[in-house]
Amino acid sequence: MSEAPAIDPTASGTALILMGGMYLLMTDAQRAGRACPWCNTAVTAETDYDLGERHLERAGDIIHPVACRACTNQQAIRSHAHHCRTCTACAYGERCEDKLVLRRLALETRS
Protein backbone atom coordinates (compact mmCIF):
# COMPACT_ATOMS: atom_id res chain seq x y z
CA MET A 1 0.00 0.00 0.00
CA SER A 2 1.48 3.37 -1.01
CA GLU A 3 1.48 6.41 1.25
CA ALA A 4 -0.49 9.52 0.41
CA PRO A 5 1.64 12.22 -1.18
CA ALA A 6 2.92 14.86 1.21
CA ILE A 7 0.89 18.06 1.23
CA ASP A 8 2.87 21.21 0.56
CA PRO A 9 2.34 23.55 3.57
CA THR A 10 2.59 26.62 1.33
CA ALA A 11 0.02 25.39 -1.18
CA SER A 12 -2.36 24.14 1.52
CA GLY A 13 -2.17 27.39 3.49
CA THR A 14 -0.91 25.85 6.72
CA ALA A 15 2.37 27.75 6.42
CA LEU A 16 0.32 30.98 6.69
CA ILE A 17 -1.09 30.07 10.11
CA LEU A 18 0.29 32.45 12.71
CA MET A 19 2.34 30.98 15.54
CA GLY A 20 3.94 34.10 17.02
CA GLY A 21 5.03 33.84 20.63
CA MET A 22 4.35 30.11 20.95
CA TYR A 23 7.93 28.81 20.90
CA LEU A 24 8.56 29.17 24.63
CA LEU A 25 5.23 27.51 25.45
CA MET A 26 5.79 24.48 23.22
CA THR A 27 7.14 21.11 24.35
CA ASP A 28 9.83 19.26 22.42
CA ALA A 29 7.13 16.96 20.98
CA GLN A 30 5.17 19.97 19.72
CA ARG A 31 8.26 21.54 18.15
CA ALA A 32 9.11 18.23 16.42
CA GLY A 33 5.62 17.69 15.03
CA ARG A 34 4.60 14.77 17.25
CA ALA A 35 1.96 16.75 19.19
CA CYS A 36 -0.42 19.55 18.22
CA PRO A 37 1.06 22.94 19.20
CA TRP A 38 -2.28 24.13 20.62
CA CYS A 39 -3.99 21.15 22.30
CA ASN A 40 -0.96 18.83 22.72
CA THR A 41 -2.71 15.75 21.30
CA ALA A 42 -0.55 13.20 19.48
CA VAL A 43 -0.39 13.82 15.71
CA THR A 44 1.32 12.45 12.63
CA ALA A 45 2.26 14.23 9.42
CA GLU A 46 0.32 11.59 7.47
CA THR A 47 -3.04 12.11 9.22
CA ASP A 48 -2.90 15.70 10.46
CA TYR A 49 -1.85 19.10 9.09
CA ASP A 50 1.81 19.91 8.48
CA LEU A 51 2.33 23.58 9.37
CA GLY A 52 5.64 23.75 7.56
CA GLU A 53 9.15 24.27 8.77
CA ARG A 54 9.56 27.46 10.79
CA HIS A 55 12.94 29.17 11.14
CA LEU A 56 13.11 31.02 14.44
CA GLU A 57 16.04 33.39 14.17
CA ARG A 58 15.73 34.86 17.67
CA ALA A 59 15.58 31.44 19.29
CA GLY A 60 18.23 30.07 16.94
CA ASP A 61 16.08 27.04 16.22
CA ILE A 62 14.05 25.37 13.51
CA ILE A 63 10.72 23.72 14.36
CA HIS A 64 8.36 21.65 12.23
CA PRO A 65 4.93 21.66 13.91
CA VAL A 66 2.00 19.47 12.92
CA ALA A 67 -1.54 20.31 14.12
CA CYS A 68 -4.74 18.34 14.61
CA ARG A 69 -7.74 19.04 12.38
CA ALA A 70 -9.77 20.98 14.98
CA CYS A 71 -6.91 23.29 15.93
CA THR A 72 -5.96 23.77 12.27
CA ASN A 73 -9.51 24.92 11.58
CA GLN A 74 -9.59 27.30 14.52
CA GLN A 75 -6.19 28.79 13.71
CA ALA A 76 -6.96 29.07 9.98
CA ILE A 77 -10.05 31.13 10.85
CA ARG A 78 -8.00 33.37 13.18
CA SER A 79 -5.19 33.77 10.64
CA HIS A 80 -7.71 34.57 7.88
CA ALA A 81 -9.30 37.30 10.03
CA HIS A 82 -5.89 38.73 10.96
CA HIS A 83 -4.76 38.66 7.35
CA CYS A 84 -7.87 40.49 6.13
CA ARG A 85 -7.27 43.24 8.71
CA THR A 86 -3.62 43.76 7.82
CA CYS A 87 -3.31 43.09 4.06
CA THR A 88 -3.24 46.11 1.75
CA ALA A 89 -4.67 44.16 -1.19
CA CYS A 90 -7.56 42.90 0.94
CA ALA A 91 -8.22 46.44 2.24
CA TYR A 92 -8.67 47.67 -1.35
CA GLY A 93 -10.80 44.69 -2.35
CA GLU A 94 -8.16 43.32 -4.70
CA ARG A 95 -7.61 39.61 -5.32
CA CYS A 96 -5.38 38.16 -2.61
CA GLU A 97 -4.15 34.59 -2.97
CA ASP A 98 -3.23 34.26 0.73
CA LYS A 99 -6.76 35.23 1.75
CA LEU A 100 -8.25 32.64 -0.59
CA VAL A 101 -5.88 29.89 0.57
CA LEU A 102 -6.61 30.54 4.26
CA ARG A 103 -10.35 30.58 3.61
CA ARG A 104 -10.13 27.29 1.69
CA LEU A 105 -8.13 25.73 4.53
CA ALA A 106 -10.71 26.86 7.09
CA LEU A 107 -13.52 25.39 4.99
CA GLU A 108 -11.69 22.10 4.37
CA THR A 109 -10.92 21.52 8.05
CA ARG A 110 -14.31 22.35 9.55
CA SER A 111 -16.20 19.57 11.28
Q: pLDDT digit string (tens) for 45-103?
A: 778 899 988 888 777 788 999 999 999 999 999 999 999 999 999 999 999 999 999 99
pLDDT, average across residues 9-32: 86
Task: Determine the structural domain holding residue 42 and report its residue range.
Answer: 19-67
Assigned domain for 12 exists:
no
Domain co-membership, 44 together with 82:
no
Flag whether 106 is in a domain.
yes
pLDDT tens-digit map of 78-94: 999 999 999 999 999 99
Residue that is last in its domain, among 67, 83, 101: 67
DSSP assignment string, 43-108: --TTTSEE---EEETTTTEEE--EE-HHHHHHHHHHHHHHHHHH-HHHHTT---HHHHHHHHHHHH
Query: For the chain, what is the domain count?
Result: 2
Question: Do 37 and 76 fall into the same domain?
Answer: no
- 35 in the same domain as 61: yes
Instruction: For the full predicted model, state whether its pTM sits above 0.75.
Output: yes
